[in-house]
Amino acid sequence: MQLQDTDLYFCTWSFVSEEIGPVQLSTNGTIIIVREELCGNPILDLVLIAFSVTAFTVIVLLFTGAMILRDRRVSTTV
């Protein structure tokens, strides 16, 4: 696809349903936007991925710590 292919497209699907027989579905329009890929700064991409991994790790550790503390409180009261 090229930049000039950005437009509103209409799609139609046809299939046979066991209950009602032939069915034809159509969209009310799908906008497809084509843009040039900009070669950004790959360092920024790596930093964002590293921050995402770090945030996920911190959340998992906090959840695990909360479950351990909850388990200790429950086991001491029983």
Contact 33, 9 (CB under 8 A): no
Domain tally for the chain?
Answer: 1
Output the pTM of the full model: 0.44
> What's the pLDDT score for residue 47?
92
How far, in Å, CA of 68 to CA of 61, rounded?
A: 10
Domain containing 18 equals 3-77
Angstrom distances, CA of residue 24 to CA of 19, 27, 52: 14, 10, 43
Task: Kindly report, residue by residue over 2-11, the tens digit of the pLDDT.
Answer: 778 888 888 8
Label residue 76 by pLDDT band (50, 70, 90).
low
Q: What pLDDT digit, counting tens, does each position of 30-75 carry? A: 888 887 776 667 788 899 999 999 999 999 999 999 999 988 877 6
